[in-house]
Amino acid sequence: MFRIISQDKKTEARTGEIATTHGKILTPAFMPVATMGAAKTLSSEELEEMDYKLILANAFHLYLKPGLKIIKKFGGLHNFMNWNQGLLTDSGGYQIFSLKNTKVTEEGVNFRSSLDGSSHFFSPEVSIKVQEILGADIIMAFDECLGYPVECKRAKESMERSMRWAIRSKKAHRNNKQFLFGIVQGSTDKDLRRTSLERLEEIGFPGYGIGSLSIGEPEEMMFEIVDSLIPLMPENKPRYLMGLGKPSQLLEMIKKGVDLFDSSFPTRIARNGSCLTHQGKIIIRDSKFKNDTAPIDENCSCPVCRNYTRAYIRHLFNVGEVLALRLASYHNLFYLNHLTKEARKAIAENNFSSFYSLTKEALKG
């Protein structure tokens, strides 16, 4: 499933390849979030145009709407959304535990739909079944997700339950064409994280996610937890840090040896008028761009930067044109994909340390 192609000699950064039934994914790679089966404001064709090979969809939301019956009728989510590349679905755990009035037992979670108030039940077995019907190439074990901060006792109880649910997730997994990843939990406690990883390795998964980070804890704390985990993680399996999408953080985690990332960050900030550039984030609504004839990023080759000016995009935002959201979202996702491509190139050329330093410095603006 996964092979390492090159390893940087000065850092833990590495390039690799994940082979799926829908093609090969070069790592490190960032995944756009297509929660409901689409990256906000963008089409599947546009994501392919940007050269994305792997995107993330949400099992929980798609289970609620349009529902499994409809997606099953189309032969899976790939066909339903006309996506011909790799697809990863998360288990729904994070979304379910974000809801109010959930009832958690050893069996699973009872909750009410945020759409119509109807009652539902998710368990490791239900989550795996849902993800198998969706037909993703990579699926995730069902786990309990905590916020930050959390007491040590609660973190331990949650981690232990997630490990028991990981065993059940694996037992429920039947489709050998789908790769089931385990998820490391344990909040901000390094010992709990280490124990979680050891348990997951005993169960045996082809890849590992690192969950419940980038949820409000200090950035340095997140870095320290990843630093404590990476040396213990199998070298021959992909490492996926869930929910991370800021350029400077991606660079840091690539340097530490992480392979996969996802986040709604680039499209979320785009809808608020924030654009990612090689010199850091800019607020395109700012009055200083009123007469600016430059593109969003003069070092970017995306269609948005080739064809439109900052002044024009600012105007679109100020008059409420939907096109503004599309252009900013397209650019931000193109930028992040380009960033990971450049990182892979630097690693392959054993030049990542220099690339990392120069890029981080430039991002400061």
Q: Which residues are catalytic?
A: 90, 262
73: amino acid identity, one letter: K
Binding residues for Zn(2+) are: 300, 302, 305, 331
Host H or E run for residue 218: none
Residue pair 199/218 in contact (Cβ under 8 Å)? The answer is no
Binding residues are: 90-94, 143, 185, 300, 302, 305, 331
In a 13 Å sphere around the CA of 45, the CA atoms on its Cβ side amount to 0
Q: DSSP per residue over 170-220, as a string?
A: HHH---TTSEEEEEE--TT-HHHHHHHHHHHHHH--S-EEE-S-SSSS-HH
Residue pair 254/343 in contact (Cβ under 8 Å)? The answer is yes
Closest-CA residue to 217 (of 166, 156, 149, 264): 149
**What tokens does 292 get?**
């600016």
Lay out the sheet containing 119-122: strands in order across.
103-104, 109-112, 119-122
CA 334 – CA 324 distance, rounded (Å): 15
Binding residues for substrate are: 90-94, 143, 185
